[in-house]
Amino acid sequence: MNIIGPDALVFGVDDVDACSQYLTDYGLKPAGDGRFEALDGTCVIIRAADDPRLPPAIGPAPSIREIVYGVGDAATLEAIAAELSKDREVRRGEGGSVHADDDSGFHLSFALTIRRPYTAPADLTNAPGHPPQRGPNLLGIDWDMKVEPRTLSHVVLFVPNMEQAQAFYVNRLGFRLTDKFIGVGPFLRPAGTEDHHTLFLIQTPPFMKGVEHFTFHLGSGTEVLHAGTQFEAKGYTTFWGPGRHYFGSNWFWYFNSPLGCHVEYDADMDLHDDTWEARHRPPGADNSQLFLFTAREKWFPSGPPPKGGAH
Amino acid sequence: MAALSHTPGAPAPGDTRTPLCALDALPPVGQARGFDPAKSGRDTVFALRRSDGIRVYRNHCPHQGVPLEYRKDRFLSGDGQRILCYAHGAHFEADTGLCTDGPCRGMSLASLPLVIEDGWLYLAVAPDSPLLR
């Protein structure tokens, strides 16, 4: 099944204005009707919690209401519809879209992908011992450097039965296990992408069911640090980061949000193919990150010379 | 002139209470304001008005001990009637601090004792208390 990854996340919220401001400040482009887009058109959609267009909620607002997966071809839509119809209600919508609940009760839909081609620059590195990527007189940074979320990377769900939830995505939708935190949750990759994961599941008590976080890919670790610094300067609250994850190698910086979950800046994730063998590690601080920092206000080593006349 | 041992806003060593703000600097019912009385670099307590008085809570979610707000002073639900932890979506009663939904259901935010005097809001907690860090 050629499932590429999440194309859209739909939230029902109690403060539409706060969420709209938040997603705009995060860097997504308002595209009208509650839609906030990355460069490739993948998006977050914000609606009032009582909007009749939304599927039923699985918790108090704000909360996730629908996860829209983009697929690469119409045959995949038919295959998904045939597979899921075996044991659950499947509704077909516009353009052949397929709508059904996963085994944890999250509302999913599948549609031909909305991802549009785009190009964006790479963060070129000059590493001694390797041919330079940035030649003479090309500058690495600029005061005006613009950071834009490029594509919706992944969503993380709290689920009451992680093994059952994993089995649904692996056995029914063709996702592959890339890595796993033993007893906590699997990192899953659908067949239509090489990204380390587009879905991570975390075992929790049933009343916590919902989204833990989602993130869009930025262009580099530098972009994560720059975007997070600017976001913090606007008054937003860091939850975790900045740092670099072990599984997936991606840079991270998580923030609280009015959407009822964390929102992350992420970049530079590993790619995998079907020859990869999943690593199983116990969860914990050591296995979840290579390093972790706390941001601080910009500072400059000026002022009176230190006592004793050093310098 | 023995009523106050210091000017509000400038705590002195040995104080048993901590000034937060002039009462008229507290926002109306439906909004909250965060404070950093121990100068720790982030808001460690927050105050809000309710119909029957003022509440001050530690900015410390009983679930994972993290700050609640998603942005400076944004501690409340959209309608201003509940406290929300914008880390993992816990809902708290604004009057009592009791968690009614979310990962720490049944647990409570730590409510801090307060004193109102001469138009100022004080915490009845010493400025060097670990409650304010």
pLDDT score, position A262: 96
Mutate to test the interface with A, among B46, B70, B107 (most CBs of A within 10 A): B70
What's the mean pLDDT when you consider all of chain A?
Answer: 95
The answer to whether the CB of A177 falls within 8 A of the CB of A170 is yes
Q: Who among B71, B77, B102 is closest to A237 (CB)?
A: B71
Residue A116's CB: how many other CB atoms inside 10 A? Answer: 10
Kindly list the strands in the beta sheet with A210-217, ordered across the sheet, starting from the edge strand earlier in the chain: A279-281, A176-181, A185-189, A199-203, A151-159, A210-217, A262-267, A251-255, A238-245, A289-292
Q: Who among B67, B71, B88 is closest to A235 (CB)?
A: B71
Q: Who among A235, A236, A260 is closest to B89 (CB)?
A: A260
Interface of B with A in 7-46 (CB under 8 A): none
Which pLDDT tens digit goes with each residue over A238-288?
A: 999 999 999 999 999 999 999 999 999 999 999 999 999 999 999 999 899
Residues 6+ apart with CB under 8 A from B76: B30, B31, B32, B48, B82, B83, B84, B94
- Bridge-based pairing of strands A199-203 and A151-159 is parallel
Nearest-Cα distance to chain B for A130, in Å, is: 42
Expressed as residue numbers, the domain containing A170 is 3-117+147-292
What average pLDDT does this structure show over A16-26?
Answer: 98
**What number is the ipTM of this complex?**
0.86
* Confidence check: pLDDT of B6 > 90: no
Nearest-Cα distance to chain B for A13, in Å, is: 9
B100 or B4, which is more confident: B100
Q: A167 in a domain, yes or no?
A: yes
Mutate to test the interface with A, among B64, B71, B83 (most CBs of A within 10 A): B71
Q: A287 in a domain, yes or no?
A: yes
Residues of A in contact with B103 (CB under 8 A): 204-205, 207-208
Q: A126 in a domain, yes or no?
A: no
* Confidence check: pLDDT of B48 > 80: yes
pLDDT band at A33 (very low <50, low <70, confident <90, very high): very high
Percent of chain A predicted with pLDDT > 70: 97
* Confidence check: pLDDT of A141 > 60: yes
A23 or B9, which is more confident: A23
Q: A27 in a domain, yes or no?
A: yes
Q: A140 in a domain, yes or no?
A: no
Residues of A in contact with B101 (CB under 8 A): 59-60, 207
Task: Flag if A14 and B79 touch (Cβ within 8 Å).
Answer: yes
* Confidence check: pLDDT of A143 > 90: no
pLDDT band at B121 (very low <50, low <70, confident <90, very high): very high
Q: Round to whole Å and give the CA distance between B82 and B100.
A: 10
pLDDT score, position B12: 66
What average pLDDT does this structure show over A170-182?
Answer: 98
Considering Cα of A75, then A81, then A86, then A87, what sign does the dihedral take? positive
Q: A311 in a domain, yes or no?
A: no
The domains of chain B, with CATH numbers, are 18-128 (2.102.10.10)
Which pLDDT tens digit goes with each residue over B74-84?
A: 999 999 999 99
What's the mean pLDDT when you consider all of chain B?
Answer: 91
Residues 6+ apart with CB under 8 A from A231: A25, A26, A255, A265
Task: Flag if B77 and A63 touch (Cβ within 8 Å).
Answer: no
Which pLDDT tens digit goes with each residue over A38-94?
A: 999 999 999 999 999 999 998 899 999 999 999 999 999 999 999 999 999 999 999
Q: Counting one residue from A and one from B, how many pairs have CB atoms under 8 Å apart?
A: 61
Nearest-Cα distance to chain A for B89, in Å, is: 5
Distances (CA, A) of A85 to A47, A80, A89: 29, 8, 6
Q: Give how many domains chain A has, as a whole number.
A: 1
Q: Which residue of B has its CA nearest to A257?
A: B70
The answer to whether the CB of B122 falls within 8 A of the CB of B20 is yes
pLDDT band at B2 (very low <50, low <70, confident <90, very high): very low
The answer to whether the CB of B109 falls within 8 A of the CB of B83 is yes
The structure tokens listed for A13 are 């919220």
Task: Flag if B103 and A262 touch (Cβ within 8 Å).
Answer: no
Could you please report the per-residue DSSP string of A40-58?
Answer: TS-EEEEEETT-TTSPPPS
pLDDT score, position A34: 98
Q: Round to whole Å and give the CA distance between A292 and A170.
A: 32
Q: Round to whole Å and give the CA distance between A21 and B37.
A: 29
What average pLDDT does this structure show over A276-301?
Answer: 93
pLDDT score, position B14: 74
Mutate to test the interface with B, among A65, A202, A208 (most CBs of B within 10 A): A208
pLDDT score, position A59: 86
Beta-bridge partner residues of A36? A30, A44
Nearest-Cα distance to chain A for B60, in Å, is: 12
Q: Round to whole Å and give the CA distance between A8 and A31.
A: 13
Q: Round to whole Å and give the CA distance between A216 and A265.
A: 6
Question: CB of B91 within 8 Å of any CB in chain A?
Answer: yes
* CATH number, position A171: 3.10.180.10
